[in-house]
Amino acid sequence: MESYANGKWNSRAPVVRILTCKVCNEPAPLYGVTDFNKSCEERRGRYLPLTGVPVYYHRCDSCGLIFTSAFDHWSKGDYLQHIYNDDYVLVDPDYIDTRPAGNAVLILDFIKKGHALRCLDYGGGNGKLTSLLREGGVDGHSWDPMDEGGASPSGSFDFISAFEVLEHTPEPLATIQRALGLLNGRGVLLLSTLTIDHVSPRGMDNWYIAPRNGHITLYTRRSLQTMFAGFGYRVHHFNDNLHMALKDDPSWLS
């Protein structure tokens, strides 16, 4: 925990009461504050010791985006040191096996009518999901921005999955633009991120607002729609967690 007392934290930017929404540019007043160590595991009754480091979140008056600017100045090294470190598995135990296995089943079913689709798992972490897809005969590729040695994907893809990715970015528009830039004209982006469309009076208690998990941008259905519409895409919501962005329905999607 010593690292929390070092200059990185002390030099963080002053808190501003009203920021500009990172999706729609409308005013986003201060929404609440939580400790850096708030994690998604709190919903399972597991609490990390508090760090004393406050992380402030803002919420857009217009599209409902909830976000913090606390990590805007962080380098990849900062993220690897403080969030995606050896202890990350403690706050996201499903990340290793359980989630990739479930998502592989989901994707294999989702693209079952496609023939030889070129698929990319964007933000694919340990690459487990892609290994499972390849075992299933899929032309699967994986790329993760936090992967030091990974070469950027080349060419375009028919299908891109981005599971639990968007909540981790401090730059939602840039991240989406980068992912959509890898999609071909009739391609489909399947993404998961939990939308928070109805906030309670104690909204900061929402389990998904979890800085220790790297959850720094939380969406509403409206903010997803606004963001993708800016790139000419429409969004279909299967539920609060699973969404699909596309321009035209490809023949295999029916």
Interacting residues toward Zn ion by CB under 5 A: 21, 23-24, 26, 60, 62-63, 65
- Which C-beta is closer to Zn ion: that of 67 or that of 143? 67
Question: Closest distance between Zn ion and the C-beta of residue 60, in Å?
Answer: 3
CB of 29 to Zn ion, least distance (A): 12
Of 65 and 133, which has the nearer Cβ to Zn ion? Answer: 65
Closer CB to Zn ion, residue 3 or residue 25? 25
What is the smallest separation between the CB atom of 190 and Zn ion, expressed in angstroms? 23
- Residues 6 or more apart from 138 whose CB is under 8 A from it? 107, 108, 111, 117, 119
For 56-118, give the secondary structure using H, E and C. EEEECCCCCCEECCCCCCCCHHHHHHHCCCCCHHHHCHHHCCHHHHHHHHHHHHHCCCCCCCE
Q: Are 43 and 178 in contact (CB under 8 A)?
A: no
Q: Report the nearest approach of Zn ion to the CB of residue 200 (Å).
A: 20
Q: Which helix (H) or strand (E) holds 40?
A: none
Residue closer to Zn ion by CB (options 39, 223) is: 223
- In whole angstroms, give the CA distance from residue 111 to residue 96: 23
In degrees rounded to 5, what are phi and psi of residue 132? -65, -40
Quote the least distance from Cβ 127 to Zn ion, whole Å: 33
Q: Name which of 65 and 179 has its Cβ closer to Zn ion.
A: 65
